[in-house]
Amino acid sequence: MYTIGQVSEMFDLPVSTLRYYDKEGLFPGMQRTSGIRQFDEEQLEAIRVIECLKKSGLEIRDIKQFMAWCAQGSETYSQRRALFIRQRQNVEAEIQRLNQVLDMLTFKCWYYEQAMQDGNEDRLRSLAPEDMPAEIRQAYEHAHP
Amino acid sequence: MYTIGQVSEMFDLPVSTLRYYDKEGLFPGMQRTSGIRQFDEEQLEAIRVIECLKKSGLEIRDIKQFMAWCAQGSETYSQRRALFIRQRQNVEAEIQRLNQVLDMLTFKCWYYEQAMQDGNEDRLRSLAPEDMPAEIRQAYEHAHP
DNA sequence: GTAATACCTAAACCTAACTTCAGGTCAATA
DNA sequence: TATTGACCTGAAGTTAGGTTTAGGTATTAC
């Protein structure tokens, strides 16, 4: 059993954040003694899960839903699984989007490298994709579908 | 030359967003006639760039800086290039982070599939990484460094 | 001539996820 | 005894990136 201050140290999370999570219902089973929060192994595991779900882009209210399902027991396995499947798709899509962004940035890096060499953008402005280095052209075309 | 309403249609961006961007200094060279904004090719290109930079996670104030550099001309090529190089690193790091998150989600999907089959988490709780399917174990270990 | 549009501004409002503040309880220490 | 420190609360403040509102101008449509 840990106090909020100890947990704050353990996870390097501000005390205010832990209280906020509690207020938002992210620790459905947490006990108190004379008003003071008691974090036990269940809550520590909850914090680990919160950190994971947050990283995947889940919002607090969805994490709250998940915690409520966990508290409900084995009847909710399929909902929990569905949440993770949905979230995996979201993250996959996000990675794909970022890979396109990456190609755009690669192109821009090349562009300004050329501009620096030329001292101006005249040549670049009249440059067709066919005249770019293959690698850059590929990035350009992937980034501008 | 286009009015704000036409540009709003062209890019499917609310008029209020375009005014907001203008207020934030994202169109340094924009002209007006009797108070009314005149979007020309330069501003349209600026909007394309804004969309790109936003997708890469850049904040409005950094985009403003970039636009200011563009307005300054060829002296600022190296700053602009440095911005894109930095941003490319950020996006690369973000993709790496998301790939870890993906492994965590893959593991969780498997976990709840097993839980559904078993009807409880008893077996899973006492499961060592060595006893997981190779693919899942790999995801698990990549997600929990 | 008036009413609907499209434009303008400044300022208030919105959401998420916190953080900060003001004020209060309680136990241990100087 | 008093004061320090860790806990508590509810409410207000913060930031980013807009959106909404209230009020005003100018052109076109009937």
pLDDT tens digits, one per residue of A3-38: 999 999 999 999 999 999 999 999 999 999 999 999
Does A53 share its domain with A2?
A: yes
CATH number of the domain within which A8 lies: 1.10.1660.10
Name the E strands within chain A: 31-33, 36-38
- Interval A69-90 mean pLDDT: 96
The answer on pLDDT for B145 being more than 90 is no
CA dist B64 and A73 (Å) reads 51
pLDDT at B66: 97
User: Percent of chain A, pLDDT > 90?
Assistant: 97
Domain identity same for A49 and A106: no
Which pLDDT band, with edges at 50, 70 and 90, does A144 fall under? confident
Q: Are residues A59 and A109 in the same domain?
A: no
Domain that holds residue B43: 1-72
- pLDDT above 70 covers a percentage of chain A that reads 100
CA-to-CA separations, B73 to B49, B68, B70, B76, in angstroms, rounded: 16, 9, 6, 6
A63 and A118 together in one domain: no
B127 pLDDT more than 90: yes
From the alpha carbon of B20, which nucleotide's C1' atom is closest?
Answer: D18
State which of A72, A101, A128 marks the end of a domain: A72
Query: Could you give the dihedral angle defined by the CA atoms of residues B93, B94, B97 and B103, in that order, rounded to the nearest 10 degrees?
Result: -130
Q: DSSP letter for A33, please.
A: E
Same domain, B7 and B62: yes
pLDDT of residue A55: 94
User: Nearest nucleotide by C1' from A50 CA?
Assistant: C17
Task: Determine, yes or no, domain membership for B85.
Answer: no
DSSP structure class, residue A39:
B
Considering all nucleic acid strands, name the nucleotide whose C1' atom is nearest to the C-alpha of residue B54: D17
Give the nearest partner residue to B52 out of A52, A55, A104, using CB atoms.
A104
Which residues from A are below 8 Å from B102, CB to CB?
88, 91-92, 95
Q: Give the predicted TM-score (pTM) of the model.
A: 0.91
Give the pLDDT confidence score for residue B24 in this predicted structure.
Answer: 97
Give a yes or no: residue B55 inside a domain. yes
Q: Where are the beta strands (DSSP E) in chain B?
A: 31-33, 36-38
- What local confidence, expressed as pLDDT, does residue B8 receive? 98
Last residue of a domain, one of B72, B104, B126: B72
- Is B88 in Cβ contact with A112 (below 8 Å)? no
User: For residues B16 and B23, what is the distance between their CA atoms, to the nearest angstrom?
Assistant: 10
Footprint of strand D on the protein (CB under 7 A): A 3-6, 8, 15, 19, 23, 32, 35-37; B 14, 16-17, 19-21, 34, 54, 59-61
Tell me how long chain B is: 145
Protein CA A84 to sugar C1' D22 (Å): 46
pLDDT band (50, 70, 90) for residue A1: very high
Query: Which pLDDT score, from 0 to 100, does residue B128 have?
Result: 94
Summary mean pLDDT of chain A: 96
**pLDDT at B117 (0 to 100):** 98
Question: Which residue in B78, B84, B109 is closest to A108 by CB distance?
Answer: B84
Q: What is the mean pLDDT of residues A71-96?
A: 96
pLDDT tens sequence across A101-134? 999 999 999 999 999 999 999 999 999 999 999 9
Any domain includes B37? yes
Distance from CA(A72) to C1'(C23), angstroms, rounded: 38
Q: Could you report the per-residue pLDDT of B13-34, keeping only the tens digit for each? A: 999 999 999 999 999 999 999 9
- What residues form DSSP beta bridges with A37? A32
Establish if A79 belongs to a structural domain. Answer: no
Q: Count of domains in chain A?
A: 2
